[in-house]
Amino acid sequence: MSDYNFAYLDEQTKRMIRRAILKGLAIPGYQVPFASREMPMPYGWGTGGVQVSAAVLTPDDTFKVIDQGADDTTNAVSIRRFFQKTAGVAVTEATSQASVIQTRHRIPEEDLRADQILVYQVPIPEPLRFLEPSEVETRKMHALEEYGLMHVKLYEDISQHGDIATAYAYPVKVEGRYVMDPSPIPKFDNPKLEMAGIQLFGAGREQRIYAIPPYTQVVSLDFDDYPFQPTKADHACDLCGAQDSYLDELIVDDEGGRMFMCSDTDYCATRRKQGHVGAQGVPYAEDAA
Amino acid sequence: MTPLLQVENIAKFYGPRIGCTDVSFDLYPGEVMGIVGESGSGKSTLLNCLAGHLTPDRGVVRFDTRSEGLRDTITMSEPERRMLGRTDWAFVHQHARDGLRMNVSAGGNVGERLMAVNARHYGEIRAEAIDWLGRVEITEDRIDDRPTAFSGGMQQRLQIARNLVTGPRLVFMDEPTGGLDVSVQARLLDLLRGLVREMNLSAIIVTHDLAVVRLLADRLMVMKDGHVIETGLTDQVLDDPQHAYTQLLVSSVLQV
Amino acid sequence: MISIENVSKSFVLHNQGAAEIPVMRGASLNVAASECVALVGASGAGKSTLMRMIYGNYLTASGRIMVGEVDVAIAAPRDIIRLRRETLGYVSQFLRVVPRVSTLDVVAEPLLATGTKRDVALHQAEILLTRLNIPERLWQLSPTTFSGGEQQRVNIARGFAFPYPALLLDEPTASLDPTNRATVLSMIGEAKARGTAIIGIFHDHAARDEICDRQFDVTRFTPGLAA
């Protein structure tokens, strides 16, 4: 423990990252370049998110990590352990208990509060990248608000699939100015981007940080005749019976049997503790035994 | 009548080498001007200076904007110039792949400029794209194909549709028929001529093909070593060339 | 309508030892509305040169060439273009068109260029082509594939499509059979009747004598030829 500075990164690096975060908060949706450090994990495992978390964590924080909504995947567990070891902070799986939540691919179902920070891991921060390979050009497009290209992508979706088939990393416009990639969250989560908590986005390999301050307007791009729709599987959770949560589909046997369950494990478990039971679920106490 | 484009003493140098120099002319609405000259004569440099792709070292280029009349496009802000570039101006590249998004469908390519000026109704954008593909003789059933699946001539026609969909007033063309079969060239020339008249377009066409300018251009400018050496009515310059170089150029064309 | 005053022209062949060849000196000619003047003179005397100078196709070194209100000798290209569109027609010996454009469109073009509605212009073109005996099955084809005589008639149809106040005719009856020749002559007569000033070159002397009010011998103004 004493071998590491608090939260692994040295103080100078954390200051540098905090400056990038503050700038990001000051210009909602704008991608701030930062000097991303080598982290003791490979790119793609959340190095951007980890650096942002390291910069915002204080010894009093309670830390939660989710990966695709779950607290118990390898990725989530190893990042949580990393900060337990290098920062000694308290950890939790309960969304409401956490002060800093690092996430990959989801926003918790439970509404976040003003005293909470949500840190996203971002693989490719540039929403225009797939159509315009030049960084010089995409930066210019952001600077001049030339966002026609973003709609070209949605146009291509409709012309090829009959509908906007983009189901995750669905582009948004922040506070009427910057078009932003919300990281690969399902578009079901897009409406939740307008929240009370602070949202920070870190892309380690691409060396970008961006942010959405509390209560910022975030609009999902669409066409007048093909309005944005936050979709989810048309089902209720088979474990807790929730109608309103984002679901994972699980194949359970070789006969095509399947079940749907909340991707947010904490949300599901909390509901089951409260006595909610889904179609294939069993009461919580029994399960625990 | 106000000229659509006023060019005064444009010069562009590459170090000590002259790109083009002392170029001045007025272009009026509906006029098509050809610029001919051999490779390295400065014609493409000039075109890129006029279209805002290069910054000339001196000179003035004024464009008659819709809202504020004549404006110097060299000193105007980049956002304004880029806005012109996707509304009132069009640029047709010699190689269609320089002017198209090869990984986007034909419809998306045509629709992009509409979406860039805030068209947000999919059905209307698509209808407009179908209309424009028809005008450049690409059938509706190809709308969702990518340009990579198109022939060279079709790609070039698609590029023209993509450029003209926002109803520009000035079109810059850099060797628009270069690299195409002669039969395909003829079709393209015919198409361009029709569009120029229907839309009352003004155009500046850079080419080394004298047959192209004879058919498309009202006026001709001959360039050599970065200088304009002769200007005039197209058929007059070609049939009664005054300058030694122009005479050589005209007499060097193989007759068929 | 057409007023030529003291015009001169020479060619300088820069690539052949800068040889200067004077081809015209001090030519003057007036043609009134409803008048038809034939340019005459030996081959090489400068008939075509003068005609091309009037049309603005050749530059004029000095003098004035007034067609209506425009001095072709000094007019800017765009003024000559407008003149050609609205005032001065030209039936040349050779047809020069964009390949692939249909004959109907070729003939209708002068009307379309002056703002006539497309259906009206095409209808007018059909009347002219019928009159000049171009078979209807050829109308949708490009005239580039036609025989010499057919091309010539398409050219004439095009030249007469728009009622220009002034008209230049270069051998309009050269390769025509008697029937079509008669048709063309009556078309020229009709143009005269509605007030068109015409300057023409006719090697067909009978036609010339029938249609022209007077002759203008270019030889007098040809340097080296004039005695």
Residue C134: per-residue pLDDT: 92
Residue C15: per-residue pLDDT: 82
- Total domains in chain C come to 1
Phi/psi for A140 (5° steps) reads: -65, -40
Asked whether the beta carbons of residue B79 and residue A149 sit closer than 8 angstroms, the reply is no
Residue B183, both tokens:
């039969």
For residue A157, the chain B residues in CB contact (below 8 A) are none
3-class SS of residue B167: coil
Residues 6+ positions from C72 with CB-CB distance below 8 Å: C53, C54, C55, C56, C60, C65, C66, C80, C83
Beta strands B17-27 and B32-36: pairing type? unpaired
For residue C13, the chain B residues in CB contact (below 8 A) are 247
B214 CB within 8 Å of a chain C CB = yes
Q: Which of B221, B222, B220, B215 is nearest to B188 (CA)?
A: B215
Phi/psi for B211 (5° steps) reads: -65, -35
Asked if this assembly's ipTM is beyond 0.85, the reply is: yes
Q: pTM for the complete prediction? A: 0.85
**CA–CA distance, A169 with A180 (Å, rounded to integer):** 9
Token pair 């005996």 is at which residue?
C133
Residue C127 belongs to a domain: no
Q: Which of A106, A128, A134, A88 is nearest to A267 (CA)?
A: A106
Asked whether the beta carbons of residue B104 and residue A144 sit closer than 8 angstroms, the reply is no
Phi/psi for C169 (5° steps) reads: -125, 120
Residue C179 belongs to a domain: no
pLDDT in tens, C108-164: 999 988 888 999 999 999 999 999 999 999 999 989 888 888 898 999 999 999 999
Residues 6+ positions from B51 with CB-CB distance below 8 Å: B85, B89, B91, B172
CB C30 within 8 A of CB C67: no
Residue A130: per-residue pLDDT: 83
pLDDT in tens, B42-83: 999 999 999 999 999 999 999 999 989 999 999 999 889 999
Residue C39 belongs to a domain: yes
Residues 6+ positions from B53 with CB-CB distance below 8 Å: B91
Asked whether the beta carbons of residue C14 and residue B244 sit closer than 8 angstroms, the reply is yes
Asked whether the beta carbons of residue B121 and residue A225 sit closer than 8 angstroms, the reply is yes
Task: Tell me the average confidence (pLDDT) per consecutive run of 10 residues in chain C, 227 residues long.
Answer: 91 85 90 93 88 94 92 92 93 80 91 90 94 92 87 92 94 87 93 94 89 90 68
3-class SS of residue C30: strand
For residue B181, the chain C residues in CB contact (below 8 A) are none
For testing contact with chain B, the best of A134, A142, A150, A155 (most B CBs within 10 A): A155
Minimum distance, in Å, between the CA of residue C178 and any CA atom of chain B: 31
B105 CB within 8 Å of a chain A CB = yes
Residue A118, both tokens:
């949500």
Residue C57 belongs to a domain: yes
Q: What are C10's strand-pairing partners?
A: C22
Which residues of chain A carry a pLDDT beneath 50? 1, 288-289
Residue C10 belongs to a domain: yes
CB C40 within 8 A of CB C215: yes
Residues 6+ positions from B157 with CB-CB distance below 8 Å: B136, B137, B138, B188, B191
10 Å Cβ neighbour count for A161?
Answer: 10
**CA–CA distance, B3 with A105 (Å, rounded to integer):** 56
**CA–CA distance, B219 with B237 (Å, rounded to integer):** 9
Residue A283: per-residue pLDDT: 76
Residue C32 belongs to a domain: yes
Q: What are B23's strand-pairing partners?
A: B10
Q: What mean pLDDT is predicted for residues B181-193?
A: 80
The chain A residue lying nearest B81, using CA atoms, is: A144
Q: Which of C96, C211, C122, C111 is nearest to C164 (CA)?
A: C111
**CA–CA distance, A264 with B104 (Å, rounded to integer):** 36
pLDDT in tens, B122-149: 999 999 999 999 989 899 999 999 999 9
Beta strands A90-91 and A218-220: pairing type? unpaired
Q: What are B18's strand-pairing partners?
A: B13
Asked whether the beta carbons of residue C96 and residue B193 sit closer than 8 angstroms, the reply is no
Minimum distance, in Å, between the CA of residue B79 and any CA atom of chain A: 6
Q: Give the domains, in start order, of chain B with CATH numbers.
A: 1-88+168-256 (3.40.50.300), 95-167 (no CATH)
Range of the domain at C74: 1-87+197-227
DSSP single-letter state for residue A62: E
Residue A285: per-residue pLDDT: 67
DSSP character string of C208-225? HHHH-SEEEEGGGGSTTT
Asked whether the beta carbons of residue A152 and residue B104 sit closer than 8 angstroms, the reply is yes
Residue C93: per-residue pLDDT: 82
Query: Which residues of A carry out catalysis?
Result: 29, 237, 240, 262, 268
Residue C225: per-residue pLDDT: 60
Minimum distance, in Å, between the CA of residue B231 and any CA atom of chain C: 9
Residue C227: per-residue pLDDT: 43
Listed in order, strand segments (DSSP E) in chain B are 5-14, 17-27, 32-36, 58-65, 69-72, 89-92, 170-174, 202-206, 219-224, 227-233
Alpha helices in C47-203 (DSSP H): 47-55, 77-86, 103-113, 118-131, 148-161, 178-193
pLDDT in tens, A158-217: 999 998 888 999 999 999 999 999 999 999 999 999 999 999 999 999 999 999 999 999
Sign of the alpha-carbon dihedral angle for B188, B190, B196, B198: negative
**CA–CA distance, C181 with C207 (Å, rounded to integer):** 8
For residue A152, the chain B residues in CB contact (below 8 A) are 101, 104, 108, 111-112, 115
Residue C146 belongs to a domain: no
The chain B residue lying nearest C77, using CA atoms, is: B233
**The Cα angle at residue A35 between residues A32 and A37, in degrees rounded to 5:** 130
DSSP character string of A170-215? --EEETTTEEE---S-BGGGGGGGS-SSEEEEEETTTTEEEEE-TT
For residue B213, the chain C residues in CB contact (below 8 A) are none
Minimum distance, in Å, between the CA of residue B133 and any CA atom of chain C: 19
The beta-carbon neighbor of A155 closest among B82, B86, B125 is B125
Residues 6+ positions from C201 with CB-CB distance below 8 Å: C38, C39, C47, C48, C51, C169, C170, C171
Minimum distance, in Å, between the CA of residue C99 and any CA atom of chain B: 6
Q: What mean pLDDT is predicted for residues B12-41?
A: 93
CATH code of C206's domain: 3.40.50.300
Beta strands A247-251 and A258-262: pairing type? antiparallel
Residue C19 belongs to a domain: yes
**CA–CA distance, C81 with C113 (Å, rounded to integer):** 11
CB A216 within 8 A of CB A30: no
CB B99 within 8 A of CB B163: yes
